[in-house]
């Protein structure tokens, strides 16, 4: 394998943590790596992860265009806001008890995700892990 290609891959992989604070990065990287692996093996996995991370960073899970509509939906639903002690951010695992999680309707193109409201903020959750994947407001 060409050393320049490997160097480019390593540089790309090392620069991604700079953007890691942005929501959607991790999900985009995971999905990109999966698709890249299917298409091009190990090298495709690395490149797919890098491209997916950038794409996920730009749009988040709901995407820029869906956020205002989803916010209006959440306001109309009048779900209770739960008091969460401590800091929560992307990656925080929420408790299984004392918080209700609601399905994201299909029209918002976030299949499989749920949401809740914590300290007045709408939060998208991965229901399998109860991990915060995006904070919307």
**pLDDT tens digits along 77-120:** 999 999 999 888 999 999 989 999 999 999 988 889 999 999 99
pLDDT on residue 58: 47
Model confidence at 76: pLDDT above 80: yes
The answer on pLDDT for 132 being more than 60 is: yes
| SS3 assignment, position 82 | strand
C-alpha angle with apex 94: 14 to 19, nearest 5 degrees?
20
Mean pLDDT within 116-137: 93
pTM attached to this predicted model: 0.58
Task: Give SS3 for 41.
Answer: helix
Residue 50 — pLDDT band, cuts 50, 70, 90? low
| Confidence (pLDDT) at 127 | 93
> In 3-state terms, what secondary structure has residue 124?
strand
CA distance 79 to 56: 27
Q: Phi/psi of residue 102, each to 5°?
A: -120, 145
């Amino acid at each position: 394998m060409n050393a320049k290609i490997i160097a480019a891959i390593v540089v790309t992989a090392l620069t991604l943590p700079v953007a890691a604070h942005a929501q959607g990065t991790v999900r985009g990287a995971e999905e990109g790596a999966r698709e890249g692996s299917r298409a091009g093996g190990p090298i495709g996995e690395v490149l797919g992860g890098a491209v997916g991370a950038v794409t996920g960073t730009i749009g988040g899970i709901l995407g820029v265009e869906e956020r205002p509509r989803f916010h209006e939906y959440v306001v109309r639903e009048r779900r209770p806001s739960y008091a969460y002690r401590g800091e929560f951010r992307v990656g925080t695992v929420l408790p299984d008890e004392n918080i209700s999680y609601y399905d994201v309707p299909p029209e918002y193109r976030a299949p499989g995700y749920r949401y809740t409201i914590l300290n007045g903020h709408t939060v998208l959750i991965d229901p399998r892990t109860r991990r915060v994947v995006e904070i919307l407001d």
